[in-house]
Structure 1
Amino acid sequence: MHSVEVFELIIAMFLAVLALHYAAQRLSLPPAVALLVGGGALAFVPGLPTVELDPELVLVIFLPPLLMDGAWFTALSPFRRHLAGIASLAVGAVLFTAAVVAVAAKLVVPELPWAACVALGAIVSPPDAVSARAVLQRVKLPRRLGTLLEGESLVNDATGLVLFRFAVAATLTGTFSLGAAVGSFAVLVGGGLLVGGAIGAVWVLLLRRLGDDHLMIAASVLVCWASYLLGEALHVSGVIATVTAGLVCGWYQHVIFTASVRLRGVAFWQVLIFLFEAAVFILIGLSLRGVLDRVGGIGVVVADMALPVVTVILAMTLARFAWVFGSDALLKLVSRMGWRRAEPLGAPAATVMSWAGMRGVVTLAVALSLPDAMPGRDLMLVTAFAAILATVLVQGTTLGLVIRRAGLTEDERARPPLDLFAAEAAMLRAQFGAVEKHAYAPDGTLLHPRLLDTYRRRATISNEFSGSDEERNESIAAHFGMILAAVAAGRAELVRLHRANQIDDETLHDLERDLDLEELGAIAAKG
């Protein structure tokens, strides 16, 4: 295909994204479902070329920004508090699911080597970060449950990818060492943490010196690929490196970004992520035709692969239920034994957690990367695609219903000490204190009488300045200089409250945006 035709196909794909998103809104469907089904339908349109995905290129292009987006806006304090639960899902649940799938695959396809069965389990075991985000954005979950699911989706890809690589190597070479696998996993995770932390630190130092909005936004966009590619180049986990860098950047962006960078950068980033997420699902749908052509058509799939595919999907689903409910039962046991830190989810929350296991682009990309010599390669490809379809179309469309039926309520212990209104009151007190402190001359003369009433009537206050042009300009500069000082004081107070765990990330972002808009208005008026 000519390069211009490729570009035309990409533009047509994004136009289809807009149409399918609009259709999903009109039909009250998750956008991921509409994009997946629409992409699958477009794959069979006469005249359109077959889409062949390069798995390594897909992972490099799409995975880093989507992981970075999740990590950047992850609330770090709840993430640390629930790290044990996240690790249980991201490592324990993935390994357990892979083992259950391997046993099920061996039972229905006895001729498939054990290592190949494990590779199949590694392909379908980790829920996908993109799919989870696409579905969870449309539902309301208690804070703890949301933190666990989002944290799991950020980290579990590393577990699945490492297990997959060892399983493929064991299948092709006939050798496997458990000690070497565990040691390699520790090196990959530890190295990923170091690389991501280093990239995050470099980003912080760099942005303190750039001083240009465009450069700061560009550096913030590129940091996701820098961390992922450097991690992979150093043979550590690019996934962990990207997530770690995202957590660092997300923590420091409140004190590094200017109001202009934050508002413009976040707007640009949101559009970018929207296009990337949509492209992932529509590309999965478009790749359906290529997968079916590779295995011999839909007739071969139905006749020869239906039983093992259905068996694997059922095993994959039931394994997650078994792990989540088993872990919750263990938490209940140790809680009754006196361990106060053990906090069981309860059956309703465990049901929601078990049902929220959508697969996506990582599953398909890993399956497409299987070497041609891999036993059962065609079966693994079809199973991977079927797992994505089944989880997104079934679990993705019914998760909201399951959540409503579960009747989940927010745990009062998870609520921050201050709500939005209390935090706003603290911020306004800090702003008033800054204005009051600088509004009087040393002799007690009131220098800026209008400032004491500014926040009640910002829209008309600038029209009340009088005098010569020079006097008016000086007065306006001093007036809005005080407003900027008040904004800075309010932002410092918000950050202090956030660092002291008095407010959550949502409250911080909401009030910070108000301050950013106020600052931009003051800067424009002062200029």
Structure 2
Amino acid sequence: MSAGSKYELLILLLMATIVLELIARRLHLPPAAALIVGGLALAFIPGVPSIDIDPEMVMLIFLPPLLMSSAYFTVWRDFRENFVEIASLALGAVVFTTLSVGIVFHYLLPELPWAVGFALGAIVSPPDAVAAGAVLEKIRLPSRVSALLEGESLVNDASGLVLLRFAVAAALTGSFSLPEAIGAFTWVTSGGVVLGLLVGWIGLWVIRRLRDGELIITATLLLAATSYIAAERLHCSGVLSTVTTGLILGFHQHEMFSAATRVQAQAFWKALVFLLESLLFISIGLSVRGVFERIGGFRQGADELIVPVTAVVATVILARFVWLLGTASLKRLLVFCGHPQKESTSLATTTIISWAGMRGVVTLTGALSLPAQMPGKDIVLIAAFAVIIVTVLVQGSTLAPLAKCLKVGADEERLLQANEAAAWKRVAEAQYKAIQTFSPGLDGREKHPRLLEQYRHRAQVAAQYEADRETHETIKSDHFKAVLESLQAGRAEILRMHRAGEIHDRVMRDLEHELDLQEIAAENRL
């Protein structure tokens, strides 16, 4: 395929992502599911070229910015408080799923070495940060559940990739060393975290000396690539290194970035993540055709592999349920025996976490990175693709209805509303006190009487809203609807003056930007 043809294909895929995104919103489906289905449909249209995904390209180009974005917007407090349970999922569940898949795979295909089944298990065991983020962004879950799922998907790749490395080596050489595996895992994880800390702190030092928002955003993008590539060169976990760097930048962004830079950064990362995720998920669907062509066509592959592939998919889903139900039962047993526990996990919450194990980019790249001489490679590829498609399409599409049916998060939503009301009251009081201090002049008169009255009114309304939210909810809604109407009128007048040649283009942009910020603030309060 020529360079021009590749570019035309890229434009076609971007156009397809917009259409599929609109379809997903209309049908209330996760965009990832619609993109994979769309890619599958495109793959079997005559004339559409088969796509062979380069796993190295995906890891180097796509994965670092996606991991940086996920870590950057991670709530550090929730991540830290739930780290023990995150580690249980990221290590325990991954190992348990790998062993379960390996045993089932070997039972159904005993002619293949044990190590092949364990390699497949390592590939499909870690839920993916990209897939989880793409699904969780569209639904409301309790903060603890979201913290567990997002935290797990950020750090579990290290265990999965280490297991895969040794399973492949065992399949090719027939030997395995447990001490060597433990040592490698220790180096991969600890080295990745230490290097991520180092890159993160150096990045903070550099960013503090930058003043331009565009330069700061570019620096954060470069830090993602630098952290990942440096770790991989040292044979550490590029995933953990990038995640650690992202956590550091995200934690310090509030005091380090200006308001304008934060607005720019959020817009940039949102658009970048949308493009990268869309291209990855639609490419997963498109690449299926090439895999089936290698094994002799769809019909032959389906006839020969339907039983083992179905068994692998079922094992991946059930193993996660078994692990989570087992750990939840153990926690209850410890509580019964008098061991203090911070919080017990309900059956509904356990079910949601179990059902949210979507696989994606890491599973795809792990499967594609298998050496050509590895026995059973094509079967492993088909099984890995099946796990991605089923978990994203089925689990991702039904996660929101299941959470609603189980009423997961209803109580926390009310608590969040109460916390938000109290926070707005404290903010309004602090602003009012600052204006009271700043406004009086030397002669005793107020320099900013209207500003003082405005902040006094805000503090009074915030206090009333905290005391009786239901009564003031309608008042608040009407107020900000009126604000939006006034902003639209102002925007229309600015546009009229600009088109009439009464104001310069730069003046128009400055005024429009100010109205945009006011509109964002008003829409967030509705």
For the superposition of Structure 1 and Structure 2, which TM-score range results when normalised by the shorter chain? 0.7 to 0.9
**Paired residue total:** 468
- How far apart, CA to CA, are the structure 2 residues paired with 1:382 and 1:52? 14
Is the partner of 1:419 in helix, strand or coil?
helix
1:98 aligns to 2:90 (yes or no): no
One-letter amino acid of the counterpart of residue 26, structure 1: R
Q: How far is 1:358 from its partner?
A: 1.2
Q: How far is 1:172 from its partner?
A: 1.2
| Percentage of pairs with the same residue | 48
Which residue matches 1:506?
A: none
- How far apart, CA to CA, are the structure 1 residues paired with 2:138 and 2:416? 23
- How far apart, CA to CA, are the structure 1 residues paired with 2:322 and 2:25? 34
TM-score (norm 2): 0.84
One-letter amino acid of the counterpart of residue 160, structure 1: G
Which residue matches 1:260?
A: 260
Q: How far is 1:71 from its partner?
A: 1.0
One-letter amino acid of the counterpart of residue 250, structure 2: G
Q: How far is 1:411 from its partner?
A: 6.3
- How far apart, CA to CA, are the structure 1 residues paired with 2:36 and 2:416? 38
Counterparts in 2 of 1:179-328, with a 5 A limit? 179-328=179-328
Q: Any conservation in 2 of the 1:36–1:284 contact (CA below 8 Å)?
A: yes
- How far apart, CA to CA, are the structure 1 residues paired with 2:404 and 2:413? 22
Q: Any conservation in 2 of the 1:224–1:242 contact (CA below 8 Å)?
A: yes
1:24 aligns to 2:21 (yes or no): no
CA offset digits 1:375-411 (Å, max 9, x no partner): 1101001101111111112111221222122222456
- How far apart, CA to CA, are the structure 1 residues paired with 2:235 and 2:396? 34
Q: Any conservation in 2 of the 1:155–1:240 contact (CA below 8 Å)?
A: yes
Which residue matches 1:386?
A: 386
Q: Any conservation in 2 of the 1:331–1:342 contact (CA below 8 Å)?
A: no
- How far apart, CA to CA, are the structure 1 residues paired with 2:131 and 2:330? 29
1:67 aligns to 2:67 (yes or no): yes
CA offset digits 1:248-306 (Å, max 9, x no partner): 11100001111111111211111111111111110101101111111211122122211
Is the partner of 1:60 in helix, strand or coil?
helix
Is the partner of 1:210 in helix, strand or coil?
coil
- How far apart, CA to CA, are the structure 2 residues paired with 1:136 and 1:307? 31
Which residue matches 2:435?
A: 435
Which residue matches 1:483?
A: none
- How far apart, CA to CA, are the structure 2 residues paired with 1:259 and 1:342? 36
Q: 1:345 to 1:105 in 2, by over 3 A?
A: same
Q: How far is 1:441 from its partner?
A: 3.6
Q: Any conservation in 2 of the 1:355–1:399 contact (CA below 8 Å)?
A: yes
1:85 aligns to 2:113 (yes or no): no
Which residue matches 2:364?
A: 364
CA offset digits 1:6-60 (Å, max 9, x no partner): 1111111101000111111122222111110111111122112110110111122
Which residue matches 1:350?
A: 350
Which residue matches 2:115?
A: 115
One-letter amino acid of the counterpart of residue 365, structure 1: T
- How far apart, CA to CA, are the structure 2 residues paired with 1:89 and 1:411? 25
- How far apart, CA to CA, are the structure 1 residues paired with 2:217 and 2:433? 33
**Structure 2 unaligned regions, length at least 5:** 459-482, 488-513, 522-526
Which residue matches 2:470?
A: none
One-letter amino acid of the counterpart of residue 319, structure 1: A
One-letter amino acid of the counterpart of residue 164, structure 1: L
Q: Any conservation in 1 of the 2:119–2:163 contact (CA below 8 Å)?
A: yes
Q: How far is 1:164 from its partner?
A: 0.4
- How far apart, CA to CA, are the structure 1 residues paired with 2:324 and 2:282? 31
91-100 or 431-440, which moves further after superposition?
431-440
Q: Any conservation in 1 of the 2:97–2:320 contact (CA below 8 Å)?
A: yes
Q: How far is 1:310 from its partner?
A: 1.0
Q: Any conservation in 2 of the 1:259–1:517 contact (CA below 8 Å)?
A: no
Q: How far is 1:139 from its partner?
A: 2.1
Which residue matches 1:124?
A: 124
Is the partner of 1:179 in helix, strand or coil?
helix
Which residue matches 1:156?
A: 156
Is the partner of 1:440 in helix, strand or coil?
coil
Q: How far is 1:414 from its partner?
A: 11
One-letter amino acid of the counterpart of residue 116, structure 2: A
- How far apart, CA to CA, are the structure 1 residues paired with 2:218 and 2:54? 26
One-letter amino acid of the counterpart of residue 119, structure 1: A
CA offset digits 1:280-336 (Å, max 9, x no partner): 110101101111111211122122211111111111111111100000000000011
One-letter amino acid of the counterpart of residue 151, structure 1: G
- How far apart, CA to CA, are the structure 2 residues paired with 1:290 and 1:167? 25
One-letter amino acid of the counterpart of residue 174, structure 2: G
**Structure 1 unaligned regions, length at least 5:** 461-513, 522-527
1:55 aligns to 2:36 (yes or no): no
- How far apart, CA to CA, are the structure 2 residues paired with 1:6 and 1:322? 45
Q: Any conservation in 2 of the 1:367–1:381 contact (CA below 8 Å)?
A: yes
Q: Any conservation in 2 of the 1:335–1:343 contact (CA below 8 Å)?
A: no
CA offset digits 1:318-376 (Å, max 9, x no partner): 11111000000000000111222253312111111111111112111111111011011
Q: Any conservation in 2 of the 1:143–1:410 contact (CA below 8 Å)?
A: no
Q: 1:212 to 1:273 in 2, by over 3 A?
A: same
Q: Any conservation in 1 of the 2:305–2:379 contact (CA below 8 Å)?
A: yes
Is the partner of 1:318 in helix, strand or coil?
helix
- How far apart, CA to CA, are the structure 2 residues paired with 1:414 and 1:175? 56
CA offset digits 1:54-89 (Å, max 9, x no partner): 011112222112211111111111111110000000
Q: 1:272 to 1:160 in 2, by over 3 A?
A: same
- How far apart, CA to CA, are the structure 2 residues paired with 1:402 and 1:352? 7
Is the partner of 1:186 in helix, strand or coil?
helix
Is the partner of 2:112 in helix, strand or coil?
coil
- How far apart, CA to CA, are the structure 2 residues paired with 1:126 and 1:3? 35
Which residue matches 1:472?
A: none
- How far apart, CA to CA, are the structure 1 residues paired with 2:299 and 2:268? 45
171-180 or 431-440, which moves further after superposition?
431-440
Is the partner of 1:152 in helix, strand or coil?
helix
Which residue matches 1:140?
A: 140
- How far apart, CA to CA, are the structure 1 residues paired with 2:417 and 2:407? 24
Q: Any conservation in 2 of the 1:329–1:344 contact (CA below 8 Å)?
A: no
One-letter amino acid of the counterpart of residue 95, structure 1: V
Counterparts in 2 of 1:405-484, with a 5 A limit? 405-409=405-409, 419-442=419-442, 444-455=444-455
Which residue matches 1:44?
A: 44
One-letter amino acid of the counterpart of residue 401, structure 2: L
- How far apart, CA to CA, are the structure 2 residues paired with 1:451 and 1:326? 59
Which residue matches 1:6?
A: 6
Q: Any conservation in 2 of the 1:331–1:343 contact (CA below 8 Å)?
A: no
Q: 1:22 to 1:363 in 2, by over 3 A?
A: same
Q: Any conservation in 1 of the 2:142–2:412 contact (CA below 8 Å)?
A: no
Is the partner of 1:68 in helix, strand or coil?
helix
Calculate the aligned-residue CA RMSD, in Å: 2.5
Which residue matches 1:502?
A: none
